[in-house]
Structure 1
Amino acid sequence: MTAVESYLSLKSGPEGFGLHEGTWQSAIQVFGDHGNLKNLRKKMSLKPLPVVGKKLNRRNTVFYSDKVQKYAFPFGSDAAVVKRTQRYLYEDLQETPVQYAAYGIVGGIKTIFKFMIAGLFFLLLTKCRWGRKLLIKHPKFFSFGFFSKEGPTQRQMAETSFSITFFGEGYSQGLDTQQGKPNNPDIPLRQFSWFKPELPF
């Protein structure tokens, strides 16, 4: 395996789904401190990991994925965590590093519009201290109701589930990775995880 992409999809019931403000605040701190994090990584002077096979085309904005036939966007810090693990495997255990990109699946055009507007406000406001305070104080308003101080209700949690689909690309066992492109492109490696707690009523 030389490259993997994951697509996270959420499915909710009639009452929709909600997320707690803790996740919202974490995202605010990450984006607000992005400049310092970038400088720290530069000071570490880490060598780029070697790319085996075809270089993975990582997307930075909302895009239409032919693999899942839906719109998607870069999701979370999963890719950074995986990259750190791959560095350890390569430098300490001499294993071939795997490229990785994580995406979240967006719904229809209406959801995409909300996502882009909320994302624009989010990026602008996280650049300054007063903007971050404003985002923390009013999570529900700036996220179009997705995040709140109350978090999801019991019914919302019971009616919400998620799935993650992985697409891998690599070489057959014994094939020289230095010769040509991977001969097993876009192997669908599907793993579904469902979360459905019991309702107290």
Structure 2
Amino acid sequence: MKRQRIDLIIFGASGYTGRFVVSEMLRICQKYPNIKWAIAGRSKEKLEATLQYAKNNGENISGIEIITADAENDESLKAMCSQCKIVMNCSGPFLKYGDALVKAAIDCKTHYIDVCSEGMFLDQVLAKYDAMAQEANVFVINACGMGCLPADLGVVFMQQQFQGTLNSVEAYLTTKLKMVNSWPKNIMRDSTWEATIQETAKKPIWKREDNFSYTIDNKYRLKPRRCIHKKFDRWCVPFPGTEETVVKRTQSYFQTQRPVQFKRYHSLPSLLASLATIIGGYLLLILLKVFSLSDLFIKYPRLFSLGFVTYGDPDEKVMETLVFDYQMVGLGWKGEVQGPPRDEIIARIYPVGKKNAPYEGTAVAVIYSALTLLTERDKMPAKCGVMTPGAAFKSTTLIEKLTNDNLKFEIIRK
């Protein structure tokens, strides 16, 4: 008799991100007692230790299966994927290790979901696997972590709340870190650093044409702001990251509505910090693009990051002081689309009650994304394929689930 598939397997569960996902899964799944899930990775011993470490309030972990699988062993990935309905990938860098798992999931007709915010990997997955995923009738949903999901679902949320036609959204991300021992050190893992350096070194400087449609009337086109400008009493600089691409793909997916234009900025406390960010960004580009120093950056992360990167886990005392907050300003028309956009809406997306906002927030976001796929398939697009969170979950209750937990979506001006 063929074994019934497990609902969900968390791959890379013993990694830094994976440990947060397992811990939050234990907490959240108390509300979903019928969901059967397992954890997977290379080392059974590390996975067992992860389960023991992740227990929040003495939850029963005896029924959680442990599966060994290696990102560099295709057969082990297929064996794992054949056992579940959804595989959740928490193991990066994705550009280095993620491709084989996407292929294995599609081959096994298993839905795939991840926390990736590496733009080149998302491009690669869309180009290589969209047609294959459609044929296999499975979803491949990238970018379900804090790197992209708040911006993508934030725009969808604003469209739903605006009661009109939304033309554009400008997002301002604020991250505040309290100084511990005078200089914040060890706040980024070397694997995250490696992914960032690879992405910066490999992607073209000049903007390339996207392989999806996004037609906007030039008359109402959202123009970039000055290199440094002030908003919400803080100094802001452009930050053209993966969020812009993800939002653009979501908006291009729904052909029956006017796509929302999106720009992302980073909000800083002072003019000096803004200038330092701009100068540092250009210096990084020069060192990676002109002098091709990416190998040295990856080999000596602490030196080139001024101590921000660690070979082990980030300093939890520092991470507990990190505050994450998105304020998103939208403009559009509540009546007839005529003349320049004149009506405003402002939303705020932020995690609450978290000791480590980026990683615990990512865990909450990706878990509810997976649970929504399991429980609300009828509210998702009929046609599967490679998708963004906004395209996949627009008509579901995912935003409501997140808001009722610890990732809040709220309108502060309408």
Q: Shorter-chain-normalised TM-score: which range?
A: 0.7 to 0.9
Indicate conservation of the 8 Å contact 2:237/2:278, yes or no.
Answer: no
The equivalent position to 1:181 in structure 2, one of 340, 352, 359, is: 340
Q: Does 1:89 align with 2:249?
A: no
Which residue does 1:13 correspond to in 2? 178
- Amino acid corresponding to residue 285 of structure 2 in structure 1: L
Q: Does 1:71 align with 2:235?
A: yes
Which deviations, in whole Å up to 9, do the C-alpha atoms of 1:20-58 show, x marking residues without a partner?
23332222222222239956x47x4x5552238732122
Tell me the distance in 2 between the aligned counterparts of 1:170 and 1:154: 42
2:169 partner SS: strand
Instruction: Map 1:9-158 to 2 at 5 A.
Output: 9-15=174-180, 16=184, 18-35=187-204, 41=209, 44=211, 47-51=213-217, 54-59=220-225, 62-65=227-230, 67-75=231-239, 76-90=241-255, 94-127=256-289, 130-158=292-320
The equivalent position to 2:351 in structure 1, one of 190, 193, 198, is: 193
Classify 1:125/1:14 alpha carbon distance in 2 versus 1 (closer, same or farther; 3 Å): closer
Classify 1:146/1:115 alpha carbon distance in 2 versus 1 (closer, same or farther; 3 Å): farther
TM-score, normalising length from structure 2?
A: 0.40
Classify 1:51/1:25 alpha carbon distance in 2 versus 1 (closer, same or farther; 3 Å): farther
* Cα displacement (A) at 1:110: 4.3
* Cα displacement (A) at 1:73: 2.1
* Cα displacement (A) at 1:128: 5.7
Tell me the distance in 2 between the aligned counterparts of 1:29 and 1:106: 25
TM-score, normalising length from structure 1?
A: 0.77
Classify 1:35/1:130 alpha carbon distance in 2 versus 1 (closer, same or farther; 3 Å): closer
Tell me the distance in 2 between the aligned counterparts of 1:115 and 1:143: 13
In terms of fraction of residues, the more helix-rich structure is 2
Higher relative contact order (CA 8 A, sep 6+): 1
Tell me the distance in 1 between the aligned counterparts of 2:236 and 2:290: 28
Where does structure 2 lack aligned partners over 5 or more consecutive residues? 1-165, 357-414
Which deviations, in whole Å up to 9, do the C-alpha atoms of 1:119-167 show, x marking residues without a partner?
2331012226841112212333333333333352111121212111111
> Identity, % of aligned pairs?
27
Count of aligned positions: 186
Indicate conservation of the 8 Å contact 1:83/1:99, yes or no.
Answer: yes
Classify 1:54/1:130 alpha carbon distance in 2 versus 1 (closer, same or farther; 3 Å): closer
Classify 1:47/1:161 alpha carbon distance in 2 versus 1 (closer, same or farther; 3 Å): closer
Moved over 4 A (4+): 36-39
Please give the root-mean-square deviation of Cα atoms over the aligned residues, in Å.
Answer: 2.9
Where does structure 1 lack aligned partners over 5 or more consecutive residues? none
1:127 partner SS: helix
